[in-house]
């Protein structure tokens, strides 16, 4: 199972799409690692600089409909090779969400209030969090606050995260 | 309790329901292209699982970057080509025979009502126009589809959108789907199937229905389904005439998938298109939509006519009607990509290609081309395009570029004027 612990990057915008996560011109790459320098390259957002702000980040907290647009699994791969295995948002585009779990990573839906609480927690000097998949718990720590949040994922999604993906599961079962 | 078409297709394809809420479906088709499939192939090879579940149900095409533009895209083509040969995938479309996946696969008769279809491409929802459940998936789902012929989906709820009224001349399926997305937003149908219904959809031909279904994903939908009817049967007849005694027999077989009158919908909406004007997008999201009349002073550098949304014969015919005898503005680069070789040939015979060339357009081979900024027709920073494609995301057609989505008629008029403009097919009606 992958690691689900580390520093949080807050992206305060809804509908961040897959072209912003990894532009189509990099889809000619066959190796995942080639996406590493290009994560979120085309995202224009006040106060965000992809060249410096992705260092040592393990978790993205963002707004609704993250990952809309293309089906490219290059989007979760670009996150994965940058050490980001968790995205937390009020909602996700269907294909992106499925791709995250198929890769053994987490796309966690939380209510808007919990998302706002995480944004607030990170507001002064950033934050860290840990996701415990066994107890469905998120423990977040900012400079001034701590927060424990529950979440739910389906048993199937949990199985994918724990077994490392859908290919092995399907080849064994079908 | 009645069922929707999506529920009926799920019921007839269910293999397993592990953990209750997940449906593992048997797949009738797995479509492949050279951008998302090679990584799946490489992974299967690396894990000693270089197998395919059924070479006759897998269809493959090189369409996104063709002819190859560099060593990397050449290698993507080679991986797909070598794989298709070694697994005896007979329906593989390469240089000379290739075209945009969501245009060429329906044209070859590979899509049928009631089918389940996946592809590593979000616009796979296009094939819902035939009454199929067709969904875009990532590379891992594609890989399992290739290997085992199954895919998982949560049972989707259905959003029924009824299109009523009478379209004004010069207003098209593209304008309708832009209006749908404007009304329900880019997140309005996430995790749902959109079922397009109503007299306007019933009167559409298959090219128009494919334009409608193609952009369902821009509202977040898993698939965009039109109910099968005699229009569907007539399109498919050359491919199914040996399977059925008559078109009526085929229709009876296909309509068993149609939603029951007492089917339960998660959401319903009725849109009257009688007053609809031609529309275009203005921002970086497909739901940023305005009437063309409110955008008509926007200069453009490039006009692109093509793609899985609007690169079919009828689209080219409409654009050529607007362009006939005219020249595009000297400040505009016009590019047209007929979506398939058959469309290209028909457009040649009808004189459409000559009309485009006489007007000053560059005609490319069938390809996804300029749509996604990874092949030809890339915009420079700060440039503006008018396009018949489906996505206006930031950087979509090239870093720093802006894309305005519109119908082929509006795109052709825009090319002539040099700025976003309504076509005479619409404007002349205004004056009457």
Assign B1 a pLDDT band (cuts: 50, 70, 90): confident
- Could you give the number of structural domains in chain A? 1
Q: pTM score > 0.90 for this model? A: yes
Whether residue A6 contacts residue A57, with contact meaning beta carbons closer than 8 Å, is answered with yes
Average pLDDT score over residue span B90-109: 98
B147–A95 CB contact, under 8 Å: no
Query: Whose CA is closest to B25, among B143, B157, B129, B117?
Result: B117
B190 to chain A nearest CA, in Å? 6
B91-130 residues touching A, CB cutoff 8 A: 120-122, 124
Q: How confident is the model at residue B153 (pLDDT cuts 50, 70, 90)?
A: very high
Nearest CA distance, B33 vs chain A (angstrom): 12
Task: Determine whether the interchain pair B395/A155 forms a contact, defined as Cβ–Cβ distance below 8 Å.
Answer: no
The C-alpha angle with vertex B393 and arms to B390 and B39, in degrees rounded to 5, equals 80
Write down the number of H helices and E strands in chain B: 16, 19
Q: Contact B187/A156, CB-based, under 8 Å?
A: no
Boundaries of domain holding A119: 3-166
Contact B377/A at CB under 8 A: no
A73 and B36 within 8 Å at the Cβ level: the answer is yes
- A113 domain residue, yes or no: yes
Cβ contact, residue pair A156, B122, below 8 Å: no
User: Average model confidence (pLDDT) for chain B?
Assistant: 97
For residue B47 the two structure tokens come to: 């894990």
Q: Which residues of chain A does B64 touch, with a Cβ-Cβ cutoff of 8 Å?
A: 27
Res. B249 pLDDT band, cuts 50 70 90: very high
3-class state of residue A112 by DSSP: helix
What is the reported pLDDT for A30?
85
Neighbour order of strands in the sheet with B29-33: B92-93, B58-61, B29-33, B116-119, B133-136
Task: Compute the distance between CA of residue B386 and CA of residue B404 in angstroms, rounded to an integer.
Answer: 5
Instruction: Tell me, yes or no, if B403 comes closer than 8 A to chain A by beta carbon.
Output: no
Taking residue B401's Cβ as centre, other Cβ atoms within 10 Å add up to 21
Q: Do A25 and B374 touch (CB under 8 A)?
A: yes
Within-domain flag for A91: yes
Residue A3: Cβ-neighbour burial (10 angstroms; 0-12, 13-18, 19+): exposed
In a domain, A129, yes or no: yes
Q: What is the pLDDT of residues A20-56, one digit of tens each?
A: 999 999 999 988 999 999 999 999 999 999 999 999 9
Q: Do B143 and A65 touch (CB under 8 A)?
A: no
More confident residue, B136 or B21: B136
Per-residue confidence band for B429, with pLDDT thresholds at 50, 70 and 90 = low
* Mutation for testing the B interface, residue in A71, A72, A98, A158 having most B CBs under 10 Å: A71
Interchain proximity B75–A30, CB inside 8 Å = yes
Q: Is residue A97 part of a domain?
A: yes
Give chain A positions within 8 Å (CB) of B140.
73, 99, 102-103, 165-167
The 3-state DSSP class for residue A55 equals coil
- Give the helix/strand (H/E) hosting B410: helix B408-417
The reply to whether A172 falls in a domain is: no
Asked if residue A115 is part of any domain, the answer here is yes
Complex ipTM above 0.90?
yes
For chain B, what is the largest distance between any 2 Cα atoms, rounded to a whole number of angstroms? Answer: 69
pLDDT band for B93, please (50, 70, 90 cuts): very high
The CA distance from A12 to the nearest CA of chain B, in Å, is 16
pLDDT tens track for B305-342: 999 999 999 999 999 999 999 999 999 999 999 999 99
Q: State which H helix or E strand residue B162 sits in.
A: strand B157-164
The answer as to whether A14 is a domain residue is yes
Task: Please report the pLDDT score of residue A164 as a whole number.
Answer: 76
Q: State the pLDDT at residue B430.
A: 59
What single DSSP character describes residue A134? Answer: T
Tell me: the pLDDT tens digits for A88-147? Answer: 999 999 999 999 999 999 999 999 999 999 999 999 789 999 999 999 999 999 998 999
Share of chain B above pLDDT 90, in %: 97
**Chain A residues whose C-beta sits inside 8 Å of any chain B C-beta:** 14-15, 17, 19-20, 23-25, 27-30, 42-44, 64-65, 68-73, 76, 91, 93-95, 98-99, 102-103, 154-156, 159, 165-167, 170-171, 173-174
Asked if residue B432 has pLDDT above 60, the reply is no
Q: What is the pLDDT of residue B156?
A: 86
Q: Are B384 and B79 in contact (CB under 8 A)?
A: no
- The CATH number given to whatever domain includes residue A71 is 3.20.19.10
pLDDT at B431 over 60: no
B261-292 pLDDT per residue, tens? 999 999 999 999 999 999 999 999 999 999 99
Reported confidence tier of residue B372, pLDDT bands at 50, 70, 90: very high
Nearest to B39 among A14, A17, A30 (CB): A30
pLDDT 10s digits, B25-39 = 999 999 999 999 999
A171 is a domain residue: no
């Amino acid at each position: 199972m992958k690691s689900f612990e580390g520093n949080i990057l807050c992206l305060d915008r809804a509908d961040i799409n897959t072209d912003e996560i990894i532009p189509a011109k990099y889809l000619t790459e066959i190796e995942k690692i080639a996406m590493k320098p290009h994560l979120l390259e085309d995202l224009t957002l006040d106060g965000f600089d992809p060249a410096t702000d992705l260092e040592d980040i393990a978790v993205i907290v963002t707004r609704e409909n993250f990952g809309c647009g293309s089906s490219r699994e290059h989007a979760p791969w670009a996150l994965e090779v940058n050490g980001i295995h968790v995205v937390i948002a009020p909602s996700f585009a269907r294909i992106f969400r499925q791709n995250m779990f198929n890769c053994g990573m987490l796309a966690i839906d939380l209510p808007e209030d919990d998302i706002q609480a995480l944004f607030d927690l990170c507001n002064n000097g950033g934050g860290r969090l840990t996701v415990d998949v066994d107890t469905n718990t998120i423990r977040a720590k900012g400079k001034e606050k701590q927060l424990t949040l529950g979440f739910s994922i389906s048993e199937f999604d949990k199985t994918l995260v724990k077994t490392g993906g859908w290919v092995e599961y399907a080849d064994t079962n079908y | 309790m009645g069922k929707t078409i999506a529920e009926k297709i799920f019921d007839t394809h269910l293999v397993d329901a592990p953990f209750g809420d997940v449906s593992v479906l048997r797949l009738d088709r797995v479509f492949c292209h050279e951008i998302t499939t090679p990584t799946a192939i490489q992974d299967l090879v690396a894990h000693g699982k270089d197998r395919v579940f059924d070479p006759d149900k897998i269809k493959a095409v090189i369409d996104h970057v063709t002819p190859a533009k560099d060593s990397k895209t050449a290698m993507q083509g080679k991986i797909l080509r070598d794989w298709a040969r070694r697994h005896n995938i007979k329906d593989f479309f390469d240089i000379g025979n290739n075209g945009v996946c969501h245009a060429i696969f329906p044209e070859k008769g590979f899509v049928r009502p009631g089918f389940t279809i996946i592809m590593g491409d979000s616009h796979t929802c296009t094939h819902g126009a035939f009454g199929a459940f067709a969904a875009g998936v990532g590379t891992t789902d594609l890989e399992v589809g290739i290997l085992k012929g199954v895919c998982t989906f949560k049972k989707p709820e259905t959003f029924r959108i009824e299109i009523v009224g009478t379209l004004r001349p010069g207003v098209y399926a593209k304008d309708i789907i832009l209006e749908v997305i404007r009304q329900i937003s880019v997140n309005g149908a996430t995790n749902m199937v959109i079922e397009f219904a109503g007299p306007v959809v019933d009167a559409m031909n298959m090219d128009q229905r494919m334009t409608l279904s193609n952009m369902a994903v821009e509202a977040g939908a898993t698939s965009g389904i039109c109910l099968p009817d005699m229009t569907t049967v007539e399109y498919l007849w050359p491919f199914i005439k040996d399977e059925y005694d008559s078109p009526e027999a085929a229709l009876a077989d296909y309509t068993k998938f149609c939603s029951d009158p007492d089917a339960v919908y998660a959401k319903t909406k009725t849109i009257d298109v009688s007053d609809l004007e031609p529309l275009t997008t203005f921002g970086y999201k497909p739901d940023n939509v305005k009437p063309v009349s409110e955008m008509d002073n926007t200069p453009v550098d490039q006009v692109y006519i093509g793609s899985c949304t609007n690169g079919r014969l009828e689209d080219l015919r409409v654009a050529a009607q607007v362009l006939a005898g005219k020249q595009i503005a000297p400040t505009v680069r016009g590019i047209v990509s007929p979506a398939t070789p058959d469309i290209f040939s028909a457009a040649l015979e009808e004189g459409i290609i000559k009309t485009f060339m006489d007007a000053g357009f560059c005609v490319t081979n069938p390809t996804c081309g300029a749509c996604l900024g990874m092949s030809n027709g890339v915009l420079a920073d700060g440039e503006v395009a008018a396009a018949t494609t489906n996505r206006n995301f930031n950087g979509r057609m090239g870093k720093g570029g802006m894309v305005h989505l519109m119908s082929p008629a509006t795109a052709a008029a825009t090319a002539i004027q040099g700025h976003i403009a309504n076509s005479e097919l619409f404007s002349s009606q205004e004056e009457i």
